[in-house]
């Protein structure tokens, strides 16, 4: 089964706009789980413009499904993850001022650094995933770090989907096959939506998990969060 992890960063963005606790990030996460979500994802950034460090600590005892923390592995991020001990950590190459993740790792030049980080998390019993594009050699390099999974950066798929779904998904099929051959699990995320998720799921083999935030929270403004979570889960039920 391909799992759905709901990224709740945008919920925190809305809360922070008023400086109070509405909407309640922890309650939202628990509600998503009750509606069937298989995991909760957060991506704390240094400026805390959405998810705060305090949110990460508050969420840990309340999230009963898989807790996934994304971020650039700075010393502060590594210490946070080691204290919280989520089920999964996803390593992304974001600069501190990035609006959103916009590229995967170029692994080879960073392989020593990533290997050391992966080893620290492995010693703590935390599954690691490295955010990458679809370049096959880059995925092979990711496997050499000792990571458990890769997360495929799916914005190129989303951008090309309307013009040609077949062409857009082809590199991701090949990337997933290559990752599986290297012994890596496969996650995916960025700009997946109700429009393009089902096709991606049907075509890409060995897909363990999708992490979806912006589109899902946007859809919830119209459909409500319960209906939205169930709609995304429905996209992951046929194959």
| Interval 180-200: pLDDT, tens | 999 999 999 999 999 999 999
d(CA 150, CA 35): 27
pLDDT over 80 (residue 102): no
Tell me whether residue 174 is one of the annotated catalytic residues: no
Determine contact, residues 147/105, Cβ cutoff 8 Å: no
Catalytic residue among 66, 70, 151, 209: 70
Would you state the pLDDT for residue 17?
95
> How many structural domains comprise the chain?
1
d(CA 191, CA 157): 8
Non-local (6+) Cβ contacts of 178 within 8 A are 136, 139, 140
Would you state the pLDDT for residue 146?
98
pLDDT over 90 (residue 135): yes
Catalytic residue among 66, 151, 190, 209: 190
CATH number for the domain spanning 181: value is 3.20.20.70
Determine contact, residues 8/41, Cβ cutoff 8 Å: yes
Nearest to 190 by CA among 130, 115, 131, 113: 131
- Full residue range of the structural domain in which residue 25 is found: 3-235
Q: Which residues pair with 73 in a beta bridge?
A: none
Tell me whether residue 190 is one of the annotated catalytic residues: yes
Tell me whether residue 180 is one of the annotated catalytic residues: no
Q: What pTM was estimated for this model as a whole?
A: 0.95
d(CA 237, CA 66): 19
Catalytic residue among 33, 43, 66, 151: 43
Would you state the pLDDT for residue 238?
74
């Amino acid at each position: 089964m391909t799992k759905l992890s709901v990224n709740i960063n945008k919920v925190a963005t809305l809360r922070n706009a008023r400086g109070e606790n509405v909407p309640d990030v922890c309650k939202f996460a628990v509600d998503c789980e009750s509606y069937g979500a298989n995991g909760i994802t957060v991506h704390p950034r240094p400026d805390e413009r959405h998810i705060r460090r305090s949110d990460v600590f508050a969420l840990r005892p309340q999230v009963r499904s898989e807790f996934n923390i994304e971020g650039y592995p700075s010393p502060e991020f590594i210490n946070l993850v080691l204290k919280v001990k989520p089920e999964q950590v996803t390593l992304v190459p974001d600069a501190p001022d990035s609006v959103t993740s916009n590229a995967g790792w170029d692994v080879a030049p960073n392989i020593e650094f990533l290997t050391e980080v992966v080893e620290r998390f492995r010693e703590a019993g935390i599954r690691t995933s490295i955010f990458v594009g679809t370049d096959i050699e880059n995925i092979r390099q990711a496997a050499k770090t000792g990571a458990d999974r890769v997360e495929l950066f799916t914005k190129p798929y989303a951008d090309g989907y309307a013009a040609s779904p077949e062409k857009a998904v082809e590199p991701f099929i090949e990337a997933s096959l290559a990752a599986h051959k290297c012994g890596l699990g496969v996650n995916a995320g960025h700009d997946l939506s109700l429009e393009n998720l089902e096709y991606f799921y049907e075509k890409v083999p060995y897909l363990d998990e999708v992490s979806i935030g912006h589109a899902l929270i946007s859809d919830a403004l119209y459909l409500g969060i319960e209906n939205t979570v169930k709609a995304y889960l429905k996209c992951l039920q046929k194959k």
